[in-house]
Every structure is written in structure tokens, then in C-alpha cells.
Structure 1
Amino acid sequence: MRRAAVLLAASVLVLAGCGAGDPAATSAPGSTTTTAGSSAGTTSATPTTDPTTTAAPSTTAAPPTTTSTSPTPGPTVVLDPGHNGGNAADPGTINAPVPDGAGGTKPCNTTGTSTDAGYPEHAFTWDVANRVADLLHDQGVQVVFTRADDTGVGPCVDVRGELGARVGAAAFVGIHGDGAAPGGRGFHVITSSLDPGGAEVAAATQALAVDLRDSLTAVEPVSDYLGTDGLDSRGDLAGLNLNTVPAVYVECGNMRNAADAALMSSEAGRQALAQQLAAGVLAFLGR
């Protein structure tokens, strides 16, 4: 059972460089108190807040709601499970332009990708994020999610990217699965090449990326098709460009690759990935 006391920002988002794959399937509603499902693509939950969907692209996040009762809360980490289960059903919303943090615009969001067997990225990211939140909370870390469930639409990438600064986060971690050519295997960690928070934040972002890279190698090889030694830097991702706290996206594997898909589709694989993601964040926080 999910034990984490989670800070929830009800209307916020992130878009990674995942492939825009098949229309995403809808999984069971989730919330700040979630039990990870025993089969691929399944989550179950007892809501502690009303799920919020985005009726139209938004650039303003709702104030976070806290369920933590800790008298001495630890550092705050934003977990951004990529995409959302309702995105495919609302192309008008997710295709609308929003600021990209580089002087242009990006679509509000995308549907994400899936494995060849149909396990959708949005369900993978939601499940893994909940597992990571449990592990972080066990170590006294406060967690903020960028979306309230796995059935809504959005929120948009600009809203997600601005959340870290709004809640005073020590780190922002976007969780994704890539949709590359099936011959490519492995994970990679993405940072913004624009250094939106300045030199000090850029150095901390790089440290966060390295800690996550080093931790994840225990369960998954680094990408053999993109980046260098499991690290990549890009200037086209709004969720990173608009972050002024240490922020990364983690493409946990290539969902179109058979070996990566097997890992990401299994409960044991998702737990292993979550454990290493949490370990990397904790190493960065010095906990």
C-alpha cells in the first residue's frame, strides 16, 4: 500500500522528448494515496483530493495541497509523471500552443508512446512515480506531483515546468519512457542546455543528472542510441527550460525495444527502476 504523504499541485505538467506513439489507454484513477497494480498498466487508488483535469491549456498552477503531517518536513522534490491518460481524447487541448521557455511555443502536451504490446507510457510513468514517492517519503522527503491522477488531460508543459520554483523544490524529476527505433536500448537523463536558473542551478542540475545516471545503471544500461554516457542536453523541452530549480527528465528506457519493454512492463521492473530513481535523488539530496 502506498504510504507516502504527498504534496499535490492539482493543475500542473511536463512534456519530455518521448516519441508521440499510439493513443494512450486509460488506466484506473490515481491520487496522492495509491497502491501500485500487480499487472502492467494498472493502478488503484483511494482519492484524498478531487482529481483535477485541464479543460484548456493553462499557464497558472493551482496552489499545492499538503497531506503531510510531519512536524519537521524534509526537502521537497517534484515528481513529474509524463503525459496523462486522458490526453489522447482531447487533441484540442494538448495541441494548443504554450510558452516553451526559449522564446517560442510548444504543444501543451502529447499522448506519449507505448510498448508494442500496448502498455502506455502515461501508465508506466504514473506507476513508477508513485513507487518513487513512497521510497522518498520513507526517508523524510516531501513530494509534489504535477498531476493528480492518470485519467485527466494535461496539465501543460509550461505549468509543470514552473512548479518547482513555486513550491521551493530542491529538485524536479520528470519520469518518461522513450519511443525510439526498436534497435536502440537503454535509459538517458536529459538536462536543459539553456541553463534557465543560472550557473549555480546548472551545476546542481548536472550533479542531479549524474547521480541519477550512476544509480540507474544498476538495473538498466545507458542509452546506446542517444546522448553520451547516459546524459543528454537539449534546448527544446519547455518543462526543463522553464525550471529554475535543478531539473531533469529521465527516459527510463526505450518502450519500443523488446528488452526495455519487458523491464518497464513488469511490476518487478518498475519497482527496480523506482528504487534506483529514489536512490539517485537521495544521493543528490545528501540523505
Structure 2
Amino acid sequence: MSYGSFPPEPGRRRGTLAIVLVALIPTCFVGWLLWSSLGRSQDDGAGGTGGTGGPTTSSTSSPPPPSSGASAPPAPSASSGEPGKPGAPGKPLEGKVVVIDPGHNPHNRDHPSRIARLVDIGTEKKECDTTGTATNSGYPEASFTLDVARRARTLLEARGATVRFTQDGDRPYGPCVDERAEIGNKAHADAVVSVHADGAAAGERGFHVILPKSVRGGGADTSAITAPSRRLGERLRGDFAKATGSEPAQYIGDGSGLDVRGDLGGLNLSTVPKVFIECGNMRDSQDAAELTDTAWRERAAGGIAQGITDFLNE
């Protein structure tokens, strides 16, 4: 812009500049206010954009949650459920074979001639089997032994054992005593327990464990099993007493609860550790009250299972 053809005087030039500056300052201030107000209105809008056109963020905002597709480390599990790993259930009898021999058979009474025939037990000949005894009210020993044996099987299998029966009420009679022994032998059992209840005189109470005597003759040779069978019997005696609260019978042997016999085919013909347990006297009213009680039979099964477990974990 030209002011004329002549330059202005110095004094007039300074006055003119001052006037221009005074006029510009309010204009600039008003412009700044308008720009600032417009910027704030954009920043305060939901989903608005800033001066760069990008999404607005706040320094106080929480970080966004991870996307649902993101992989995160799994939370620790209380139990893996896998054998051999922390939290896995205990299997103290894994790989062990146990044979349980429920004494007699509920159907034996229907086959008297068959169970009466004689079989060779090595040292002599004896009946194939018998009907067993019963309480005065008619509860059969054969029913008792099956019930306790099945309960013990459940406990032992839960600990990892392979459990086999000589009979499970699924045979017309027997098996005979020589076959009962052979079942344990063929299974290569680590332990065999034959479950029974006694039929002594009324007033005689308690349980006892029958151990094999060292015998040789015919097909019988117990020399290799007498020592481990005694250990099995001792474990069984202690754990059965603890589980049931029963006392060892005083009417048999020396009152220790252990009785050694050489006239039982199931023991004479065994080549693996084996014992009998007479859980009580069915002909005594006090013992009979326990033997016929479901809760007591569960405890009896627990004592038998624990005795076997302790023996196999020696």
C-alpha cells in the first residue's frame, strides 16, 4: 500500500503505527476467544475429534479390556484329575491283584449232593463246600459274606486294585474249595482273603483270622506262603479291630485273634498269600446284631480293605 509520493514525517509515522497496533490488539483477542471456544466444543462432544482428526483420549481413562479372542494363560486348577500329577486321586494299589473269596454260596443248599462230594486238598479229602451257618433269625452266612466282599471290592478298586471274586452269587453252587484256591493261583494274586462268619456256641464272641499251616503232601505245599500270609493276617487283625471295634475271639486258639490250621483246602492248595477271616459269631445274639447291621458291615469291609492295603504297601 502506498501512502503518497512523499515519505511521511517521523513524528506522524510513529503516531500512525500506535493507532494501528491499538486497533489490532482487540481484534486478535476476539479471534483467539472464538478459536478457543470452537476447539472446546469439539473436544467435549461424544466421539468427537481433536485438531488432528484422530479419536480423543483422556489421560485418566482406564485401558480397554482385552478382546474376547485374545489368548490368556489358564487359571490354575485345584485338581488335574490325571494319575501321577498334583491333585490326582491316590492309587496305592495300582497294579496289584486281589482275590476275594466270599465263603460258601447262597445256592449251595439247593445242591446238597454236589457240594457233599469229596475233593483232594493235598493232605486229605474234604467236602467240595458247605452251606455255611446262619443267625438264629435265619440270616445266612453266604449272604453276609457276599455283601461284605462286594463292599470291600468297591473300596479296593477305588485304590487302584484289580479285584477278582471266586464267586459273586452267579453260580449254581460252589465253587469247590480246591477251585477256590486255584482261582487265586491262576490270577497270580498279591493277596487273597476268604470272608466268613463263625457258627460257634452262643455266648462266644469276637472275630479271628485263620492262617495257613506249613504243610506238604499231594498237591499241597504252603512253605512259600506261610510267612507272607501271617503278615497279611496280622495286618487284617489290627485294621479289622480298629474299623469295627470288635475284639479278637477268646474261644479260639490263644485269644490273639490268629489261628493256624492245616485242614482247609482253600489254604493248603494256595500258592499265593491267603488267609480266612471269621468276622464274628452268627450264633451269638450280640455278634449277630452287628453282622446283620448294614453300617457295621460297611465298617467290616473297610477293615478288610485297609488290612489288604497295608499288607501290600509294606
Q: Is contact 2:146-2:168 (8 Å) kept?
A: no
Larger relative helix fraction: 2
Letter paired with 1:87: N
Q: Is contact 1:122-1:150 (8 Å) kept?
A: no
Q: Is contact 2:106-2:142 (8 Å) kept?
A: yes
In structure 2, do the counterparts of structure 1 residues 199 and 100 end up closer, same or farther at CA, with 3 Å as the change threshold? closer
Q: Is residue 93 of structure 1 aligned with residue 120 of structure 2?
A: no
Instruction: Give the corresponding residue for 1:84.
Output: 105
Instruction: Give the corresponding residue for 1:26.
Output: none
- State which structure, 1 or 2, has the greater radius of gyration over its C-alpha atoms: 2
In structure 2, do the counterparts of structure 1 residues 97 and 197 end up closer, same or farther at CA, with 3 Å as the change threshold? closer
Name the stretch that deviates more: 220-229 or 121-130.
220-229
Report matched runs for 1:1-287 at 5 Å: 74-102=95-123, 104-149=124-169, 152-195=172-215, 198-218=222-242, 219=244, 220-228=246-254, 229-286=256-313
Letter paired with 1:184: E
Gaps of 5+ in 1: 1-69
Identity %, equivalent residues: 45
- Higher relative contact order, chain-length normalized (CA < 8 Å, sep 6+): 1
Aligned length: 216
- Counterparts of 2:95 and 2:188 in 1: how far apart (Å)? 12
In structure 2, do the counterparts of structure 1 residues 184 and 150 end up closer, same or farther at CA, with 3 Å as the change threshold? farther
- Counterparts of 1:215 and 1:201 in 2: how far apart (Å)? 21
- Deviation of the 1:161 alpha carbon: 1.1
- Counterparts of 2:193 and 2:296 in 1: how far apart (Å)? 19
Instruction: Give the corresponding residue for 1:41.
Output: none
- Deviation of the 1:101 alpha carbon: 2.4
Gaps of 5+ in 2: 1-90
Q: Is contact 2:212-2:222 (8 Å) kept?
A: no
Q: Is contact 1:254-1:260 (8 Å) kept?
A: yes
- Counterparts of 1:192 and 1:276 in 2: how far apart (Å)? 21
- Counterparts of 1:127 and 1:73 in 2: how far apart (Å)? 24
In structure 1, the residue corresponding to 2:297 is in which secondary structure?
helix
- Deviation of the 1:150 alpha carbon: 5.8
In structure 2, the residue corresponding to 1:276 is in which secondary structure?
helix
In structure 2, the residue corresponding to 1:137 is in which secondary structure?
helix
- Counterparts of 1:227 and 1:259 in 2: how far apart (Å)? 21
- Counterparts of 2:289 and 2:186 in 1: how far apart (Å)? 37
Moved segments of 4+, more than 4 Å: 195-200
Letter paired with 1:209: G
Instruction: Give the corresponding residue for 1:27.
Output: none
Q: Is contact 1:78-1:173 (8 Å) kept?
A: yes
- Counterparts of 1:142 and 1:148 in 2: how far apart (Å)? 15
Q: Is contact 1:85-1:150 (8 Å) kept?
A: no
Residue deviations 1:197-252 (CA, integer Å, cap 9, x gap): 55442110000000000111121110010023100011110011000111100000
- Counterparts of 2:113 and 2:259 in 1: how far apart (Å)? 31
- Counterparts of 1:183 and 1:100 in 2: how far apart (Å)? 32
- Counterparts of 1:90 and 1:260 in 2: how far apart (Å)? 29
Q: Is contact 1:84-1:150 (8 Å) kept?
A: no
